[in-house]
């Protein structure tokens, strides 16, 4: 089974379409690690598209905030403004949809999905100590997480942890990681809609469990078109400029 692994789409329909076009014909089952909405200008378009693809999804903190969940962690003022804007835009059926999204961990075949860490959906996993719990506890040898918007992750074998850093050269499409038997992996596909690893291209992964290969993809998209829609929607300026820098 080949899985298309999406995360942190953040209501960016142009980036999502570019990713889906690049991945076409290369996967059988799609999953998403949360933050479908928040920040971007296209919440209904993104939800309509993902729902039509029958994507297995868990919620992220921005989905919680946009659905009015009182347990949503305190967002910074700019993210809070974007969450309020998103909530107003959502059609009733899409608001209901994000309200009933399950929290991770979610098992889908040979993959485990979480938004933040394995233990806490709101925790950021930046460092090996933060990754250890998920690497040890997850029921599958490959677990995908989101939330940091940084493509890459961690591997663990015989009490030895390694940080996995990937660079996809311009025009290359993807960088491949081979899954070694006996090693456990906690991997982030990167963010579709608001990358933060200094590469503004949309990020996602394709996990081929049969052949033991994970492809980490980067795909350029029309950032200016998204920025223009954000200007028209009067979304906060810092959210608009950061897309061009991937920060
Ligand atoms: Zn996010």
Can you identify the CATH homologous superfamily of domain 2-242?
A: Metallo-dependent phosphatases (3.60.21.10)
SS3 of the chain: helix, strand, coil, percent, to 5: 30, 20, 45
The crossing angle, in degrees rounded to 10, of helices 43-52 and 13-23 is 30
Pick from 126, 162, 173, 159: nearest CA to 145: 126
Which pLDDT score is estimated for 68? 83
Give the separation between CA 151 and CA 166, rounded to whole angstroms.
7
CA dist., res. 247 & res. 235, Å (int): 17
| Phi, then psi, of 18 in degrees rounded to 5 | -65, -40
Strand partners, 6: 32
The neighbourhood of ligand 1, an ion, using CB within 5 A, equals 8, 35
Q: Tell me the CA–centroid distance for residue 116 and ligand 1, in Å.
A: 9
pLDDT at 76: 87
Selection from 146, 210, 218, 145 nearest residue 175 by Cα: 218
For the chain, give every domain's residue range.
Answer: 2-242
Which of the residues in the chain have pLDDT under 50?
none
Distance 1 CA to ligand 1 centre (A): 26
| pLDDT for 75 | 82
Cα of 156 to ligand 1 centre, how many Å?
25
Structure tokens at 193: 């809609």
Per-residue model confidence as pLDDT tens digits over 90-111? 999 999 999 999 999 999 999 9
Residue 226 near residue 216, CB atoms below 8 Å: no
pTM score of the predicted model: 0.97
């Amino acid at each position: 089974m080949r899985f298309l692994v999406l995360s942190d789409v953040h209501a960016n329909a142009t980036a999502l379409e570019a990713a889906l076009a690049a991945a076409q014909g290369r996967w059988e089952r799609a999953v998403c690690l949360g933050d479908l909405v928040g920040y971007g200008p296209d919440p209904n378009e993104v939800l309509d598209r993902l729902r039509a693809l029958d994507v297995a999804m868990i919620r992220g903190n921005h989905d919680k905030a946009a659905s009015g969940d009182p347990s949503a962690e305190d967002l910074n003022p700019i993210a809070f403004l974007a969450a309020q804007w998103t909530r107003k835009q959502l059609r009733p059926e899409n608001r209901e949809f994000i309200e009933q999204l399950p929290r991770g961990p979610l098992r889908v075949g040979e993959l485990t999905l979480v938004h933040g860490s394995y233990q806490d959906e709101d925790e950021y996993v930046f460092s090996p100590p933060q990754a250890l719990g998920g690497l040890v506890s997850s029921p599958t040898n490959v677990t995908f997480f989101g939330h940091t918007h940084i493509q890459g992750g961690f591997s663990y074998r015989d009490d030895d942890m390694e940080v996995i850093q990937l660079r996809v050269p311009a025009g290359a499409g993807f960088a491949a990681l081979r899954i070694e038997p006996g090693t456990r992996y906690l991997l982030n596909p990167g963010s579709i809609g608001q990358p933060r690893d200094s590469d503004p291209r949309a990020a996602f992964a394709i996990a081929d469990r049969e052949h033991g290969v994970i492809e980490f993809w980067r795909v350029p998209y029309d950032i200016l078109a998204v920025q223009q829609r954000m200007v028209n929607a009067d979304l906060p300026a810092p959210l608009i400029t950061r897309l061009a820098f991937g920060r």
